[in-house]
Chains A and B, each alone.
Chain A
Amino acid sequence: DAGVIQSPRHEVTEMGQEVTLRCKPISGHNSLFWYRQTMMRGLELLIYFNNNVPIDDSGMPEDRFSAKMPNASFSTLKIQPSEPRDSAVYFCASSLREGVLQPQHFGDGTRLSIL
């Protein structure tokens, strides 16, 4: 079975540009999570969806960030306008369902550099 697929793997863009990160969760998984990882702050949850509905977006840094999940097999994280401090590795993860025992399966991340 394919794991969580993220694209692009790397993105370098100039400050002020719009950035769109994409994620395809594991087929049949109902929960999807977006994380950001930096050296300073570690791995932080930005937002998570259950059955395509956003459940908790308290980790989204500011209005420049938005996330959508139009269907069970696709999600996007958009940054507009981007700033140098948004540079990080962004991970998408999915789990079969909600629950304290559920493992999260991570993609390989998108390394984002904002110049």
Chain B
Amino acid sequence: TQLLEQSPQFLSIQEGENLTVYCNSSSVFSSLQWYRQEPGEGPVLLVTVVTGGEVKKLKRLTFQFGDARKDSSLHITAAQPGDTGLYLCAGRTGTASKLTFGTGTRLQVTL
């Protein structure tokens, strides 16, 4: 069973601060996705990364896939209260459709 460990588990910061969330595994993934989940809703896809070393930016969010495709990070610049939520990384191995989700990072951004 592939295990995706996320750190930190919980993060409470003030508006305007920067933060980084990490997603680590001993397995190699063919692709990795990041989702955000808000209370009472299902996860929503933020980004998909495929190539080792790939960096993708989505406004204030920067996603990086590790060179060996075993880890990933999500960096948020100048966090806003709207960024509050549960952030989940999810990886696929081989050509499978099956996603293995990470343990999650719960982020709270206060004014």
Which residues of A sit under 8 angstroms from B40, Cβ to Cβ?
A: 108-109
**B52 interface contact, C-beta 8 A:** no
**B43 interface contact, C-beta 8 A:** yes
Could you say which interface size class chain A belongs to?
20 to 34
Which residues of B sit under 8 angstroms from A105, Cβ to Cβ?
A: 45
Segment from A71-79, A80-88, A95-103 that makes contact with B: A95-103
Please state if B98 and A45 are interface contacts (CB–CB under 8 Å).
yes
Most buried by A among B41, B43, B88, B101: B43
Residue of B31, B42, B45, B102 touching A100 (CB-CB under 8 A): B31
Which residues of A sit under 8 angstroms from B42, Cβ to Cβ?
A: 4, 91, 93, 106-109
**A48 interface contact, C-beta 8 A:** yes
Name the CB-closest residue of A to B94: A100
**A14 interface contact, C-beta 8 A:** no
Name the CB-closest residue of B to A9: B40
CB distance from A110 to the nearest CB of B (A): 11
A-contacting residues, B9-40, CB 8 Å: 30-31, 33, 40
| Distance A70 CA – B88 CA, assembled complex (angstroms) | 31
CB contacts between A and B, total, < 8 Å: 60
CB distance from B104 to the nearest CB of A (A): 6
Given contact pairs A100-B31, A101-B48, A101-B50, A106 touches B95 in the complex (Cβ within 8 A) = no
B 75-110 to A, binary, CB cutoff 8 A, 1 in contact else 0: 000000000000010001001111111111000000
CB distance from B61 to the nearest CB of A (A): 16
**A43 interface contact, C-beta 8 A:** yes
Which residues of B sit under 8 angstroms from A106, Cβ to Cβ?
A: 41-44
Q: Residues on B close to A: CB < 8 A?
A: 30-31, 33, 40-45, 48, 50, 88, 92, 95-104
Q: Residues on A close to B: CB < 8 A?
A: 4, 31, 33, 35, 42-45, 48, 50, 55-56, 91, 93, 95, 98-109
